[in-house]
Structure 1
Amino acid sequence: MSAHNEETPILIEDGLMEGGSPDGGSPNGGSIVLEAGPDAAGQRLDQWLAGKLGPDMSRSRVQMLIRQGAVKVGGQPVNETKRKMAAGDRVSVDMPQPEPAEPQGENIPLDVLYEDNELIVIDKPPGLVVHPGAGNWTGTLVNALIHHCGDSLSGIGGVRRPGIVHRLDKETSGVMVVAKTDRAHKSLSEAFADHGLTGDLKRAYLALVWGIPMRPTGTVDEPLGRAADRVRRAVVPEGRD
């Protein structure tokens, strides 16, 4: 058992986070024990735990672990995310092993532009669907990434799968960045949700047009919905504005 102080989690199972720690890498499997210092008094359990478990552990996942009975205070399971902390509280967290991803890996060639332990950047070709879904349960980018990345996927939200943070339509080609860890998924999701307003994210689209448009500018304002084939989206009278 490792020595501990008020601020440092105790890793009570050897090798539970191989190559990782509470402030780096995704904690998948094993147990973690923390002791609350005086500064924890009055804080919500979920907020305090999310802060102590590192940037790769989202508050929503901490709340899920609490509701599943994986968090104990003083040896007793708790299921109230808003429970107030007290100085000296001893909190243990049983981290589940990542569940297998439902989509299966498929040996589909990928044009990899960059890859490290946290993320992978690929050039998606036209005709490749990103997510399994209606009409495309196999042969997708997700299937290809599961096969390509293998055990290097440490888990997104506790599930061993690639973290898709943005999408391109089936017939659209272009660069896509995909998370391989919870930490990368959280950071990239925040960047894409912000649309580059405050961060360094920049996105650009190139459209090729055949012929000469009748008007140089204009606005298309029509209701969109599922096309008759139930796969594509199209302008339909009953669609959403």
Structure 2
Amino acid sequence: MSETTPRPTETERIELTIADTDAGSRLDRLLADRLPAFSRSRLKALILAEAVTVDGRLVVDPSVRVNSGGRVVVAVPPPTDPVPAPETIPLDIVFEDAALIVLNKPAGLVVHPAAGNATGTLVNALIAHCGASLSGIGGVARPGIVHRLDKDTSGLLVVAKTDRAHRRLAAQFADHGRSGGFTRAYLAFVWGCPALPSGSVDAPLDRDPRNREKIAVRPNGRWAVTHWRLIESYAGTDGRPVASLLECRLETGRTHQIRVHMAHIGHPLLGDATYGAGFRTKAGLLPPEARTCLESLRRQALHATCLGFAHPSSGEFIEFTAELPQDLAGLRRALAKTDESVI
């Protein structure tokens, strides 16, 4: 497969009409929902840079509310060369062609430069690997980035090498399979054992007003749904279930979604210092080897194990899987060393 997409040399104008269902929405949220190929931070930056008008009036406040029937125009400047420097960082590439790269991200690797992580990111590695052949839609600091994984979450991630591929992949991630084939599954080790073999969490998410670094279930937050299935449960030293392995599939893709949703139903992830701090004492109920594995983990026990989508060029459905990395595979073996494990 090959694909060549010329980069625009002039500002692109994107025009939107505000539907009745969008009336009263914040401008930045409206644009994020209607333009999934652009990151929300990129759209916010365009608003602040005086690149967005509503009914011909310049708007520089991302939180302004929009009215039904209005017309929004976004002036997108041509992509510039990525500012992050190329760095030789090993990449576990699962698949690559002219349009995209699928890779298995290790825990500890930040996806793109940000405050506190100006270098040593996946973007730096991608620039070294791909040169100039990365989509510019994500902005200067995020070339090619269609979606993200938390720094301490491992697993599968797809990167766009052309603007056309970026737009088509972003649309699939925004749709989450409602209009066609799309799979995105995670393996999560959680505290306790759910009472049912499967279930769903439908709880809106937004920034925690008490801590802007955290996400919380909020009544007026963004719609978020996680479907989970019990794979294994593990007994503690008292013979009762102390932890479980779940498969989680996303119907939406919000920041920290699985971590917050699992904590919300009383089953936070093992190793999650942000959303599972109150469960640290349960480590004393783990078998000794499992306790040692958890102490050395130093991250949330979450892995993106499956990713499937329609190829942006051919339309063919392609799917990839990534086994548990060494640290989580070791934790699983240690947890399962009991007659009470159920598979």
TM-score normalized by structure 1? 0.51
Report the CA distance between 1:189 and its aligned residue.
0.7
Tell me the CA shift for residue 209 of structure 1. Answer: 3.1
TM alignment of 1:9-20, pairs within 5 A: none
Unaligned runs of 5+ in 1: 1-19, 32-44, 48-57, 59-63, 69-80, 83-94
Q: C-alpha separation between the residues in 2 aligned to 1:160 and 1:169?
A: 16
Q: Any residues of structure 2 matched to 1:86-165 within 5 Å, and which?
A: 99-153=80-134, 155-156=136-137, 162-165=143-146
Is 1:188 the counterpart of 2:140? The answer is: no
What is aligned with 2:156?
A: 175
In structure 1, what is the equivalent of residue 327 of structure 2?
none
Contact 1:125 1:173 in 2 (8 A): yes
Counterpart in 1 of 2:7?
Answer: 28
Corresponding position: 1:202 with 2:183: yes
Q: What is the CA deviation profile of residues 2-49 of structure 1, one whole-angstrom value per residue up to 9, with x for unaligned ones?
A: xxxxxxxxxxxxxxxxxx9xxx62223779xxxxxxxxxxxxx978xx
Cα 1:226–1:105, aligned 2, differ >3 Å: closer, same or farther? farther
Count of matched residue positions in the alignment of Structure 1 and Structure 2 = 159
- Give yes or no for contact 2:106–2:155 (8 Å, CA) kept in 1: yes
Partners of 1:146 and 1:161 within 8 A in 2 = no
The 1-side partners of 2:188 and 2:147 are apart by 19
Secondary structure in 2 matching 1:203: strand
Aligned to 2:208: 225
Q: Distance in 1 between matches of 2:152 and 2:139?
A: 31
Q: Secondary structure at the match of 2:208?
A: strand
Q: Flag the structure with larger Rg.
A: 1
Structure richer in strand, relative to its length:
2
Shift of 1:192: 0.4
Q: Matched residues in 1 for 2:215 and 2:110: separation?
A: 17
RMSD of aligned alpha carbons: 4.3
AA partner of residue 155 (structure 2): G
- 1:218 Cα shift? 9.4
Structure 1 SS opposite 2:116: coil
Shift in alpha-carbon separation, 1:108–1:30, aligned structure 2, 3 A: same
Is the partner of 2:190 in helix, strand or coil?
A: coil
CA change 1:166–1:227 in 2 (3 A) is farther
* Distance in 2, Cα, partners of 1:136 & 1:159: 15
Does the 8 A contact of 1:121 with 1:175 survive in 2?
yes
Name the counterpart of 1:39: none
Amino acid at match of 1:25: T
| Cα distance between partner residues in 2 of 1:219 and 1:114 | 32
Structure 1 SS opposite 2:165: helix
**Which shifted more, 179-188 or 151-160?**
151-160
Higher helix share: 2
1:130 CA displacement: 1.0
- CA distance in 2 between counterparts of 1:137 and 1:189 reads 25
Note the C-alpha offset of 1:153: 2.9
**Other structure's SS at 1:25 match:** coil
* Native 8 Å contact 1:111 1:123 kept in 2: yes
Whether the 8 Å contact between 1:153 and 1:180 is mirrored in structure 2 is yes
- In structure 2, what is the Cα distance between the partners aligned to 1:151 and 1:223? 35
Q: Percent identity at matched positions?
A: 53
Name the CA shift for 1:135/1:197 in 2 (closer, same or farther; >3 Å). Answer: same
Going from structure 1 to structure 2, the CA distance change for 1:134 and 1:215 (only over 3 Å counts) comes to farther
Is the alpha carbon distance of 1:197 and 1:27 closer, same or farther for their aligned partners in structure 2, counting shifts above 3 Å?
Answer: same
Relative to the length of structure 2, the TM-score reads: 0.37
Instruction: Tell me how far apart the structure 2 counterparts of residues 100 and 223 of structure 1 sit (CA, whole Å).
Output: 33
TM-aligned CA deviation for residue 152 of structure 1:
2.9
Give, in angstroms, the shift of residue 207 of structure 1. 0.6
